[in-house]
Structure 1
């Protein structure tokens, strides 16, 4: 007769005592090792063993009630029973959880590999985010080359982690006593000034000539250390106050200056006054080959201690090889002669047909820069004439131009109403349209040409869009071959085939990523300053050209770069570092990633991070900072540049160009490529000289549209004020102001009339 245990006794689980007595609840206890077993428990175990491994759920599909859809999956009850009987309750449950997590990761991995743009298997652990590939000795060489070339006209300290044992001679700084005396065993953090004396200028409009501000003094230089003192967001400086210092120090307040007391601390523009000993100051013997004097510690310690190399990548070897430093010449010496090592070129990059966005960027360039268009012939003793190079990518970013692309590009420019006016002979020396060829440009960079084909070209912040194979396959056919492939987009709205951003939903992401790389290539190969095409010039950049260091500007509140404005010297050591580092990091030129490159290498000082107030004055406000004391105008969104709120819509027409972030060098309106500057007059309005382009644009707008009162518009019909918008937005006012200058109806911002 089977017996049941009704009295307390120690229980075993998984063959081990639980460490304490477990008491029954007065029901029979089944013990598999006992000859007396419960028939009920045996029955339950038998049922569990016989339950199916696969079960299904029937789903009724709408419209097909008689044909249910079955979804099959593993029976969790059988799986749980199998796991616990084989491995025990604890171990079995843990193993089941681990298996479930692995299954989820496997599904996620398949989705990332086959269902995303990246087409890459994910890693189970976070990627190593280190980017450094240069040793400390190489970093010291880079610092020495840049400082000796005059590319560091700053008093900011060299990071102690660079471990310089000797102060580097700096021809861009005047001599002065060191502020600190290094103690034995410490490292030098200051450069040794051997340059010219600085004379800071008090720039004001002369009496009876105060309608317009004076042009900057030729050869003048902006002291960006002083600008940082008044504008650095990290030091709680306010954009409104920064703009006041910028416009007062440059004399842009012309006749509107109010008495403020002594403002010597606001003088930030200077002239270098060289003597005979500093006309050419390098601190090196001209006859000797340039060699870096090693300063790496030789005391047996690790010379690269404190530096963390990128995982899985070897140090760059051999040590970085640099040419002789550039001879430094003060900007005030022969300002009319262009320095071949520091050319005055503004670069912009554009994909697809020209629209009103590059059109307005070029107009603002003509309205503000010292192009000499106010004279019949450019004066021999004028300043070095700045140039505007617009680089055009004729097709989608992932394609290669065909052999006739250049001829087709100029044919399209001639037929494009937004571009054809700038082909006028009057602009031939200052406005140049260049065709972008990715293969040619990459092969033109010595640091990239042998290895870039093995990398991903469309990498932005680690996010890779897998289309470079199309580009690389096309490289098998040379650009001069008649069989060079043409872009054959199957869907113009597909991301790979887009040529420009036509709306928020059709954003041309590939062209944006390509432009992140293009700006570094253009500045490194040709020199100059790169600006994004959503940029408008607001003043002459003369004193920024005089400051020969590299710079970008701050990413709003973050201590990162925004390269919408980028100054990088031609064939510089810093450029070499950036390209080799980017190559070892899969060609990632996103500004956030570039910020990591320079920070981990202790080179942030060589690419100065200027306050965004200089180029992007609305950014902090749009991100809910400094609302209590905003600048003029007050934008809480970048969209308000195009759609000014009705409560503020009187300001654009009343204050005009002079009331738009006065003091800033430029304005960045952050994309909005699809928003017209002037909705009511969305055509180039440049007067009779360019009437053909205007008629072409107006005809294109009229085609297929019923005109007012049912009659056809005449090409010579006069515009009526009733057809215009009552309140004009800021974008509209700026466009019409620049166009009035080209028409000859008003002078530029410095009171100079355009002469044809």
Structure 2
């Protein structure tokens, strides 16, 4: 028996009294002092462990043997179950629900050997121009030759660090590619007023870009833009002296032509007795006898195994200077953009920015046949009706008729732009049938084709039944309701409350379809190009960019190689996941399969430099201009409104490749000059725009008068009375301080009118 441990004589007395009254009780009293009150104590009941102990001891003495045997048998049973599962996991895939690396239900439908095929194909085709490690989860045993990177210094692990009965997992490609010469681009006298264009065939070193721009590593957008600005020569020779340790701006390089007699490294080139390894591969070793073929991979619940991949032969990686033609047929320079509804100032501005920044050759009378420059093209894909409708047989003719009669679109039908801008008719059925990976299966999902992040919009129209009497018979007719503001029939986004969500979902899929079928780069229609993309085209990998603070993709900019293994993976995975191409879902596809390195997630500073600021990040050192809301692009705050006119486009996120203004389809770029202002050559379209604006303002006046019941109510009377008044004037009075959106629009238009050169000092030649 243990000694008593009472805190006071009072407590001991109470316990003894309670024990005498109820010796078998499960509780006992405890007296606690009350802070600040010396004369009173608090009495509470606590579990009486003494009763339990006495009961347990008395009974367990009689039943100790059977209880011990029971727990022993249970332990043996659990051990057998665990061992059986471990053995079964090696021989058979785990079919139960599993979470992927993202913490969400897995989307994976490929075995490890198929994922290895994808990595081998992409690396062997020169689509991985990076020294970043390949995931150890791929468990490569043989070396991967990478023709897109130069040979890297070899290192050998001392034998004392090599565990017995283990093998190396290859996490680095063996470089067999050409050497690189990094460039210091600067304007040269006498042409110092404008930046130089990047040399043909130049390439951006994305490893260097990630070192200076990765938000995940604490890098600032402002510092990234400085590096991009200096490395691209965008400072126009006005470069300030900086400590070389502050910023290394050399991120653009040229590949040197390969020596045809150079020997390709082979396995027998390695020193005897040493295991060649590369940076970051230390510690990536596994035991030969304990290797789990499915370790780290989690299959999608209920999905069928994907059959063995059949991929074409790997492509040859060429140095740009060694190509017979300046354009690589496997890497065509096509900008894709998708648009639904009436043509507005949004695609108009995207096309103007393309003409203002890219090397289209408009400063030349004719494009030289022996040019060493790959001339880019812009393909604008038009979905002629609501996203869920099927185009009629005359859709192509109707599309061009509408473009010709649209003041925002008609200027780009000019013969001067025919070699660089093309309008294409989008047909969902035709496009999906053009993807061999899914053409036999996508129709099973046609009723749920509009899938965005698991949110599915059913496009079946609601049927209504009406009855009519013909003679003595009653006939029932079924028709479909077509509400123009219904989400299925909506055509374009007229305001934040009437958003064309269906078209946005369709565009999520369209970007992958277009880049996989035709190659090139997809741009969202709310994108404005800010500089030449030559070195981005030179980088032969695939990329999108980061979703602000989140480690996910934003595919507002997307580059895919034509008919690539990565594209095959994405479409086969998507068809097993409801054809969901939302950027968040695509992030899960690549994360679950450890293929993120093949679709590089570039920092958003390159394409979306205001995004972090709008989400309250990096406001201690923001870039120029400083936007805390995307709306500030269209309505620049008064305290910052001196910058647009004073700095012009040169002060607008200088260094970024593009700017993404995130929707605002209903907000005009230039409220006082909300029409295409391109000069005498396009006077017809401008007059048409003025006429349309007058009609819109007339409707507004009529609606206001009808509400107040003042004045005439018919269109004719209203037109006679107000047609020549200031209210119908299409050119309003400018704001004292122009907004950024208006400054960019007027800059691009001045170039087309021939009043100023483009950003590289080239004057348009008509």
TM superposition score normalised by structure 2: 0.76
Using the TM superposition, give the Cα deviation of residue 543 of structure 1 relative to its aligned residue in structure 2, in angstroms: 0.3
Distance apart, 1:262 and its partner CA: 3.3
Taking the aligned partners of 2:155 and 2:197, their CA distance within structure 1 comes to 36
Structure 1 residue 280: Cα displacement: 12
Q: Which runs of 5+ in 2 are unaligned?
A: 1-23, 28-96, 268-284, 463-478, 702-717
- Asked whether the 8 Å contact 2:461–2:481 carries over to 1, the reply is no
Aligned to 2:750: 740
Superposed CA offset, 1:195-244 (max 9, x none): 10000001001133211000111110000100000000011000000000
Partners of 2:154 and 2:729 in 1: how far apart? 69
Partner of residue 270, structure 1:
253
Offset of 1:128 from its aligned partner? 7.0
- Is the 8 Å Cα contact of residues 136 and 304 (structure 1) preserved in structure 2? yes
| 2:682 match: secondary structure | helix
Cα distance between partner residues in 2 of 1:158 and 1:656: 43
Give the corresponding residue for 1:702: 694
Say whether 1:427 aligns with 2:417: yes
Q: How far is the alpha carbon of 1:331 from its aligned partner?
A: 2.3
Q: Does 1:399 align with 2:389?
A: yes
Q: 1:257: Cα distance to partner?
A: 1.1
CA distance in 1, matches of 2:376, 2:649: 22
Shift of 1:185: 1.5
Alignment partner for residue 147 of structure 1, among 100, 123, 128? 123
Contact 1:128 1:310 (8 Å CA) reproduced = no
Q: Which residue of 2 aligns with 1:167?
A: 143
Are the equivalent residues in 1 in contact too, given 2:167–2:287 (CA < 8 A)? no
Q: How many Å separate the matches in 2 of 1:589 and 1:517?
A: 5
Measured after TM superposition, the shift of residue 712 of structure 1 is 4.8
2:356 to 367, 371, 378: 367
- The 8 Å contact of residues 158 and 189 in structure 1, kept in 2 or not, is answered as yes
Q: Deviations for 1:85-117, whole angstroms, at most 9, x for unmatched residues?
A: xxxxxxxxxxxxxxxxxxxxxxxxxxxxxxxxx
Distance (Å, rounded) in 2 between the aligned partners of 1:281 and 1:542: 29
Structure-2 residue corresponding to 1:629: 621
Q: Hey, what's the Cα distance between the residues in 2 that align with 1:749 and 1:213?
A: 7
Q: Secondary structure at the match of 1:247?
A: helix
Contact 1:205 1:254 survives alignment (8 Å): yes
Question: Which residue number corresponds to residue 444 of structure 2?
Answer: 454
Q: How does 1:330-369 map to 2 (within 5 A)?
A: 330-334=319-323, 337-369=326-358
Q: CA deviation at 1:20?
A: 6.9
* Structure-2 residue corresponding to 1:82: none
Which residue in the other structure is 2:588 paired with? 596
1:339 Cα deviation from its structure 2 partner: 1.0
- The 1:180/1:747 distance shift into structure 2, 3 A limit, reads farther
Give the drift of 1:279: 9.6
Is 1:727 matched with 2:737? yes
User: How far off is 1:336 after superposition?
Assistant: 5.4
**CA deviation vs aligned residue, 1:304-362 (integer Å, no higher than 9, x gap):** 22211000012211x11100011111123348521110000000000011100000000
Indicate if the aligned counterparts of 2:122 and 2:598 stay in contact, CA closer than 8 A: yes
Q: Is 1:413 matched up with 2:403?
A: yes
Conservation of the 8 A alpha-carbon contact between 1:281 and 1:328: no
Matching residue of 1:253: 235
CA contact (8 A) 1:230 1:241 kept: yes
Deviation at 1:251?
0.2
SS, match of residue 554 in structure 1:
strand
2: distance between equivalents of 1:622 and 1:256?
30
Listed one character per residue, the Cα deviations across residues 602-647 of structure 1 (whole Å, up to 9, x for unaligned) are 1000000000000000000000000010000000000000000011
What is the distance in 2 between the residues matched to 1:534 and 1:274?
39
Distance (whole Å) between structure 2 residues aligned to residue 569 and residue 711 of structure 1: 57
Counterpart contact for 2:694–2:730, Cα < 8 Å: no
CA distance in 1, matches of 2:754, 2:104: 59
Matches within 5 A, 1:14-25: none
CA contact (8 A) 1:219 1:333 kept: no
Gaps of 5+ in 1: 1-18, 23-122, 285-294, 471-486
CA distance in 2, matches of 1:257, 1:718: 46
Q: Does structure 2 retain, via aligned residues, the 8 Å contact 1:457–1:468?
A: no
| 1:377 aligned residue | 366
State how far apart, in whole Å, the 1-side matches of 2:137 and 2:344 are.
48
- 1:11-41 CA-to-partner distances (Å, cap 9, x unmatched) read xxxxxxxx9799xxxxxxxxxxxxxxxxxxx
Task: Report matched runs for 1:50-89 at 5 Å.
Answer: none
After TM superposition, the structure 1 = structure 2 runs for residues 207-222 of structure 1, keeping only pairs within 5 Å, are 207-222=189-204
Report the counterpart of residue 45 of structure 1 in structure 2: none
Aligned length: 608
Deviations 1:104-151 (A, max 9, x none): xxxxxxxxxxxxxxxxxxx9x999721000000000000000000000
Q: Distance in 2 between matches of 1:662 and 1:283?
A: 45
Q: Where do residues 546-565 of structure 1 align in structure 2 (5 Å cutoff)?
A: 546-565=538-557
SS at match of 2:260: helix
> 1:494 corresponds to which residue?
486
297 and 441 in structure 1: CA distance in 2 versus 1, 3 angstrom threshold:
farther
Deviates more, 1:736-745 or 1:305-314: 305-314
2:110–2:306 contact (8 Å) kept in structure 1: yes
Secondary structure in structure 1 of the residue aligned to 2:327: coil
Distance change >3 Å, CA 636–CA 754, structure 1 → 2: same
Shift of 1:424: 0.4
Please state whether the residue corresponding to 2:321 is helix, strand or coil: coil
1:167 CA drift (Å): 1.9
Matches of 1:272 and 1:709, distance apart in 2: 69
Distance 2:626 2:719 in 1: 36
Q: Check the 8 A contact 1:279/1:330 in 2, yes or no.
A: no
Residues 651-681 of structure 1, C-alpha deviations (whole Å, 9 max, x = no match): 1011000000000000000000000000000
TM-score normalised to the size of structure 1?
0.76
Worse overlay, 179-188 or 545-554: 179-188
C-alpha distance in structure 2 between counterparts of 1:453 and 1:529, whole Å: 27
Contact 1:622–1:636, Cα closer than 8 Å, also in 2: yes
Say if 1:297 and 1:303, in contact at 8 Å, map to a contact too.
no
User: Per the alignment, do residues 489 and 640 of structure 1 end up closer, same or farther by CA in structure 2, a change over 3 Å counting?
Assistant: farther
- Answer yes or no: is the 8 Å Cα contact 2:215–2:603 preserved in 1: yes
SS of structure 2 residue aligned to 1:266: coil
Query: Is the 1:149–1:282 Cα contact (8 Å) retained in structure 2?
Result: no
Deviation string for 1:478-497 (max 9, x for gaps)? Answer: xxxxxxxxx98711110010
CA distance in 1 between counterparts of 2:670 and 2:325 reads: 38
Q: Which residue of 2 aligns with 1:567?
A: 559
Residues 167 and 288 in structure 2, CA contact (< 8 A), matched pair in contact too:
no
Distance 1:255 1:128 in 2: 50
Contact kept in structure 2, 1:501 and 1:673, CA below 8 Å = yes
8 A Cα contact 1:148 1:282, kept in partner: no
Instruction: Tell me the distance in 2 between the aligned counterparts of 1:633 and 1:211.
Output: 22
After TM superposition, the structure 1 stretch with the greater mean CA deviation from structure 2, 722-731 or 167-176, is 722-731
| 8 Å CA contact retained: 2:377, 2:420 | yes
Report the CA distance between 1:723 and its aligned residue.
1.9
- For residue 157 of structure 1, report the CA deviation from its aligned partner: 0.4
Shift of 1:386: 0.3
C-alpha separation between the residues in 2 aligned to 1:610 and 1:278? 36
Verify the 8 A CA contact 1:489 1:497 in the aligned structure 2. no
Supply the distance in 2 between the matched residues of 1:278 and 1:665 (Cα, whole angstroms): 39
1:297 deviates by: 10
Say whether the 8 Å CA contact 2:128–2:146 is kept in structure 1.
Answer: yes
Query: Corresponding residue for 1:187?
Result: 169
Q: RMSD value over aligned CA atoms?
A: 3.0
What is the CA-CA distance between 1:535 and the residue it aligns to?
0.1
Of 231, 240, 253 in structure 1, the residue corresponding to residue 213 of structure 2 is 231
Q: Any idea what the Cα deviations from partners look like across 1:511-546, whole Å, max 9, x if unmatched?
A: 111100000000000000001000000000000000
